[in-house]
Structure 1
Amino acid sequence: MVEVEATQAPFFSVLMCCNRDDGYLHQAIESVLAQSFSSFEFIIVLNRCSDELYESVAAIKDPRILLFRTEIGQLSFNLNFGVNSANGTYIVRFDSDDICHVDRLVESYKLIQKEPDTDIVAGSCRIIDATGNVVGVRVLGDQDWRSKIAYSNPFIHPAMVIRRNLILSARGYLGGFQSEDYDLWIRLAKLTDVKCVFTSFPMIDYRISDFQSKGSRQAYAEVSSYFLREFLIDPGFKKIISLFFSVFKVFFKSK
């Protein structure tokens, strides 16, 4: 266990929102509680969930867990609720069907200590299937994420660490039912002083399953609406190209 200097507030707030258990929730929670880093709290926001699900999580007795329940099912609302309730300097995103590497927090801490002005840590991941078998990897290296974001999402949201004050200054998660992270990246990309550090360290095992909305028509349509907004606010050639590509994906890449 890696210890840090004691302070009133934890260094990290791990944030997970969930409205159902597809059979992976408790494994996900256990992977956070098993972290080799001490200074964190674990915020779990259950939204429009069953009483049985709430009671099963409430039965986990660990002082690091801050459990909340809301009746609003939209993910962006519940992420904002969690960020607002957090005490940590950095928000660590995580999803309820993935698995945290045991050294995820300590590796993030080392990167931030090396470059204290870091606003975002963009982690890599292993890809696992529904049964937990490793079927691939996604390794992130240094890149011009501001340029890349015009064509694709350069980040793995549940493998991200984001300075809490940065999220607050951006007015939180604003967009969509299935693509709230992409909207945040688009808005942050316009801020020239945001510092992002990429790492090849596999922060999580990212699960691919039939329950996910990734690649859905609605998700692509939402992203198109973000680029339309940006084009209407400040028209330009690059923005119309981004809009064209996002609309193309709605019709030819969505499920």
Structure 2
Amino acid sequence: MTLSDFQIIMGVAEMVEVEDAQTPFFSVLMCCNRDDGYLNQAIESVLAQNFSSFEFIIVLNRCTDELYESVAAIKDPRIVLFRTEIGQLSFNLNFGVNSAIGTYIVRFDSDDICHVDRLAESYKIIQKDLDTDIVAGSCRVIDALGNVVGVRVLREEDWRSKITYSNPFIHPAMVIRRDLILSARGYLGGFQSEDYDLWIRLAKRADVKCVFTSFPMIDYRISDFQSKGSRQAYAEVASYFFREFLIEPGFKKLVSVFFSVFKVFFKSKK
């Protein structure tokens, strides 16, 4: 599928530009250690954006030489390609955030598809309120073949309360102020649930402003390759809540511990 194919499918609006074209407003950040057959489509969907002020940071980690060479062969000045030998997502996300020069980090995964106006819509939302720290986007859900099988629509809510029992965000559909990630000391925990740990820590800060939007930023792919819902992922989340309970004991945090442990045994994939 070519860039023009994406533009036809997604529907191209006018190209959106910002005044300072020298420094990118967004840094799209994607980490990848293997290609499950969707990588080229994911990369092309980012490069097809109708918003000009962005860089595309790709961090390949513990990947084959063949994969690295295939991505390095894509000649686009917006791509900033790195390679590391540490196959852990938290490390590579931090590496990408540290290397980024955009004001906002746009998270994205290598098996999803960016809607062509994702960055333009995010920019409009931020310009309405320049104090915005996080833009939490919605998504369409697709299967392994790319068929739309559902939607997940996010609406304004008390995300700080909801986070005690459920992840209120779609990580690859989010935009986060880079300075906010740095002030939180980056991604800290988990092999599979590093985002949840960040949200728990940010929820303790009253100064963090999050804007929810029903706009579908991405097509979020559900496939057999994902670790989502694994026992390890649930166990990691349980450990985060146990940590928070030990730091500052309270009934609400104790309930979160029991609820997350329950999920480990009764909701996770075996």
| TM-score, normalised with respect to structure 2 | 0.94
Residue in 2 that maps onto 1:171: 185
Q: CA deviation at 1:3?
A: 1.2
Give the deviation of 1:8 after TM superposition. 3.5
- Structure 2 equivalent of residue 254 of structure 1: 268
CA distance in 1, matches of 2:75, 2:96: 19
Is the counterpart of residue 128 in structure 1 residue 142 in structure 2? Answer: yes
One-letter amino acid of the structure 1 residue matched with residue 129 of structure 2: E
- SS of equivalent residue, structure 2 residue 50: coil
| Counterpart check, 1:67 vs 2:84 | no
Deviations 1:62-100 (A, max 9, x none): 000000000000000000000000000000000000000
Q: In structure 1, the residue corresponding to 2:36 is in which secondary structure?
A: coil
CA distance in 1, matches of 2:170, 2:17: 27
Indicate the residue corresponding to 2:120 in structure 1: 106
Q: What secondary structure does 1:42 align onto?
A: strand
Q: In percent, how many aligned pairs have the same letter?
A: 89
How many angstroms does 1:134 deviate by?
0.1
The aligned runs of 1:1-255 (5 Å cut-off) are 1-255=15-269
CA–CA separation in structure 2 for the residues paired with 1:7 and 1:131: 37
Q: Which amino acid aligns with 1:58?
A: A
Shift of 1:6: 2.0
Shift of 1:7: 4.5
Aligned length in residues: 255
SS in structure 2 of the partner of residue 41 of structure 1: strand
Give the CA RMSD over aligned residues: 0.5
Shift of 1:9: 1.6
| Contiguous gaps of at least 5 residues in structure 1 | none
Runs of 4 or more consecutive aligned structure 1 residues displaced over 4 Å after TM superposition = none
